[in-house]
Structure 1
């Protein structure tokens, strides 16, 4: 199984709702947003389900709240990857920020990888709750993203019927209106980003289909484009590799066409 999956792989077209259902059904959780998995605990336990006994679950902190605590979870995950010889770079600094798209992409990759190991079949003998509570310590999973903490803080300011709220009713009302406006703007921004992402994905898909046309798929320029399309590591200089390949291919073609003396 290739652990590096190109951006055009079908894995990256799996929606967030399907990802959340996959996590919740297998691990008996109730996540409502992909960024709730930013602590790395979910990923560790999913690997524990896929490879029983490989993950030191006693080191996984399901109540991680700070970035430092989350990073410790990702260190456990990276050690597991190393042990299983999984060549996958984990963008820890991005994931712990709780950004939805970064976490979605990593979970999409994880689902594809785990499904390739067990064919998508759930391990019936695996007890996720028991594994989380191993050692007698209450390790009930809690949302630990900054987004959720911010929402909890905001909810404390929503006016109710108690005397303190009535006393500061006008201020609270203004705060609620400001927060509602900010939330609306954020939703619009997310919608625009998702539309932009889908637009560029469709462009890339069209290019991929064109590159698979039998008449041209073996041309050097098409092979060079494929190298860029299927690059799997963000740090890999795909453009440079494609240019080198093209130069070598064109050089070889020139030598073949050179007339003999």
Structure 2
């Protein structure tokens, strides 16, 4: 399947706003730029959602900032591709640079591939936040085991060991049920706001496409009216009056119609040329 997605496939015409909406809705994230997915963690979790249990999520670092950490995420992704026999070359050296076009192209391919597997249907049984948290717990558990094996002199002055910070993706656990309910409510509000932002961005993207479409049409009309054969024709002059009208508060249509009426009326009133008198030919 992966090898059949060519460079002219419709997948590569999907806009960035649609890609961001696809990521945020399925993984409960709030990405606003394509380059925020350059670490490879998003791609790993998309494969985890499409093929549950195939991706070792405890190896995926969602806090990766350095190129080294990002490369480790792409190594996990490449291992998953190899396991699933997906023939897709990952341009790791280009993706980790965070360049929008490179990352957009890879995410366009990713969306096309995942949709071809699940038909574009979201896996309702998949909990993306829980999967990220589970990976964080696995990492923290290994770190705790390592901390227990350290010598006593590694403890601080208060006599307690070094405290490990909780996984940033999961956030601190709530010890009270009311706190848990509050956190769930806050998460729901964040998700609702995130969806609103995504919808607004999608609307803006559609409006921009519509604007560009009609602008290109007007530009074609302008070029046609500027051709040498037509630029002085009454209809071309009338059209250019509309195109070049400076005051947007008033429609120039009436002015253009008046110009056409006057021009046509003048043509009708113009007297026909008298025929030239015939000259007598000498016999």
> Could you tell me the TM-score, scaled by structure 2's length?
0.49
Unaligned runs of 5+ in 1: 142-194, 196-261
Quote the residue 1:119 is aligned against: 119
1:127 offset after TM fit, Å?
Answer: 0.2
1:53 aligned to 2:53?
Answer: yes
1:10 aligned to 2:10?
Answer: yes
From 169, 179, 193, give the equivalent of 1:140: 169
> Could you tell me the TM-score, scaled by structure 1's length?
0.53
Quote the residue 1:33 is aligned against: 33
Take 2:113 and 2:20, find their aligned partners in 1: how far apart are those partners? 16
* Structure 1 runs of 4+ with >2 Å offset: 1-4
Contact 2:40–2:70 (CA<8 Å) still a contact in 1?
Answer: yes
Unaligned runs of 5+ in 2: 141-166, 171-211, 213-283
Contact 1:4–1:87 (CA<8 Å) still a contact in 2?
Answer: no
Q: How many pairs were matched up? A: 142
Take 1:62 and 1:41, find their aligned partners in 2: how far apart are those partners? 6
1:5 offset after TM fit, Å?
Answer: 1.6
1:156-210 deviation line (CA, Å, top 9, x unaligned): xxxxxxxxxxxxxxxxxxxxxxxxxxxxxxxxxxxxxxx9xxxxxxxxxxxxxxx
Contact 1:39–1:65 (CA<8 Å) still a contact in 2?
Answer: yes
What does 1:1-261 align with in structure 2 at a 5 Å threshold? Answer: 1-135=1-135, 136=137, 137=140, 138-140=167-169
Contact 2:2–2:88 (CA<8 Å) still a contact in 1?
Answer: no
1:2 offset after TM fit, Å?
Answer: 3.9
1:56-83 deviation line (CA, Å, top 9, x unaligned): 0000000000000000000000000000
1:115-165 deviation line (CA, Å, top 9, x unaligned): 000000000000000000005352518xxxxxxxxxxxxxxxxxxxxxxxx
Take 1:76 and 1:139, find their aligned partners in 2: how far apart are those partners? 20
Take 1:2 and 1:27, find their aligned partners in 2: how far apart are those partners? 22
Contact 2:14–2:108 (CA<8 Å) still a contact in 1?
Answer: yes
Residues 2/42 of structure 1: CA separation in 2 closer, same or farther (3 Å cut): closer
Larger Rg: 2
Structure 1 vs Structure 2 CA RMSD:
1.5
Residues 18/67 of structure 1: CA separation in 2 closer, same or farther (3 Å cut): same
1:65-115 deviation line (CA, Å, top 9, x unaligned): 000000000000000000000000000000000000000000000000000
Take 2:110 and 2:122, find their aligned partners in 1: how far apart are those partners? 14
Contact 1:132–1:139 (CA<8 Å) still a contact in 2?
Answer: no
Take 2:51 and 2:168, find their aligned partners in 1: how far apart are those partners? 20
1:134 is paired with a residue whose SS is helix
Contact 2:16–2:104 (CA<8 Å) still a contact in 1?
Answer: yes
Contact 2:60–2:76 (CA<8 Å) still a contact in 1?
Answer: yes
